[in-house]
Amino acid sequence: MAKRVPRSRYLTQALGLIVWAVVTPLALADGAPQQREFLESFGGQLGNQQIKASNGESDVSGRDGPVVSQSEQMQQSVIDPADNALRSARVMTSDEQDRMTVQKGLELIDSGDIDEAMNLLSRFLLERPSAHQSRQTLATIQLASGNAASAQATLKQGLALAPNFAGFKKLYARLVMVVDPEAAVALLDELPPTLEQDPDYFELYAVLLQQVGRYDAALARYPGLLQMDPASGKLWLAYAVALEATGATEDALAAHRAANRQGLGDPALDRYNRLRLKALRSKE
């Protein structure tokens, strides 16, 4: 059975800070500039592998075949003329329709019309329920707009259709991680991708394992994550917290020092890291 370590006050504080740093504030300021850039950053922190249409990846199981519809005609209007001419010779696939709808939604966000972007994606999902990139993007916008209930419903529908689609699992786990971390861990436990396919998945998984007291299991995830991203101060800090929780104080001190060298990019995290460095140095 996985080892569960009782939390001390400082560990509880550390996990609260790490969770706060991982989950960005779920709000979009009215009239904020560069809203698309913000949304893409938000999506990246929610494990979306960036929701730019050009990089979209989908779980294509259960997709319908190529169709011609009104939504296709709308999507073709946002493609470059040269690309439009190329595509006019054939019917767009479901994946292409999905990506083009996401692109159109992001263009609407660029223009400040977030409500219309959500309407566009919602209408498309009525027609194409298995358009996973569109659903993932809609849920991200709903979360960023502060509508957690709608995002939860959107993701539940997606998970019913594609229970192992990593994008849905990560978003849903982040949505419930504060109120039901055990459920979030159980969701990510099931058929995970490889670390190389989705390091964000395992970063979230490691933090959640710490949140439920499974520090040994969390520790097993960090070496691979840090090998892939050794310059991440937040990863080093989370690793230090897990090490200290299991009594590996010397290794924890080294990890806190690495976090300090790499930088944390947040005053609260930086302050906490410096406090733990001071406390651990006093025990040397």
DSSP symbols for 128-182: -TT-HHHHHHHHHHHHHTT-HHHHHHHHHHHHHH-TT-HHHHHHHHHHHTTT-HH
Check residue 93 and report its DSSP letter.
P
State how far the alpha carbon of 47 is from the alpha carbons of 167, 183, 246, in Å.
7, 18, 28
- Please tell me the least confidently modeled range out of 9-18, 111-120, 129-138, 139-148: 9-18
**pLDDT above 90 for 6:** no
Give the mean pLDDT of the chain. Answer: 75
**pLDDT above 60 for 3:** no
pLDDT of res. 147: 87
Average pLDDT over residues 40-56: 38
Question: Residue 100: enclosing H or E segment and its boundaries?
Answer: helix 94-110
Give the HSE-up count for residue 151: Cα atoms under 13 Å, Cβ half-sphere: 24
Q: What is the C-alpha separation between 117 and 121, in angstroms, rounded? A: 6
pLDDT of res. 224: 96
Helix (H, G, I), strand (E, B) or coil at 265: coil
pLDDT of res. 81: 46
Domains of the chain, start order:
1-23+179-284 (1.25.40.10), 27-176 (1.25.40)
Selection from 119, 142, 109 nearest residue 32 by Cα: 109
How do residues 199-213 score in pLDDT, each as one tens digit?
999 999 999 999 898
Place of tokens 């999905």: 98
C-alpha torsion sign, points 200, 187, 43, 258: negative
pLDDT of res. 144: 83
Average pLDDT over residues 165-187: 92
Q: What is the C-alpha separation between 215 and 96, in angstroms, rounded? A: 42
**pLDDT above 80 for 77:** no
Q: What is the C-alpha separation between 40 and 202, in angstroms, rounded? A: 20
pLDDT tier, 278 (very low <50, low <70, confident <90, very high otherwise): very high
* Relative orientation angle of helices 249-262 and 233-245, to the nearest 10 degrees: 170
pLDDT of res. 60: 31
pLDDT tier, 26 (very low <50, low <70, confident <90, very high otherwise): very low
Selection from 262, 256, 235 nearest residue 244 by Cα: 256
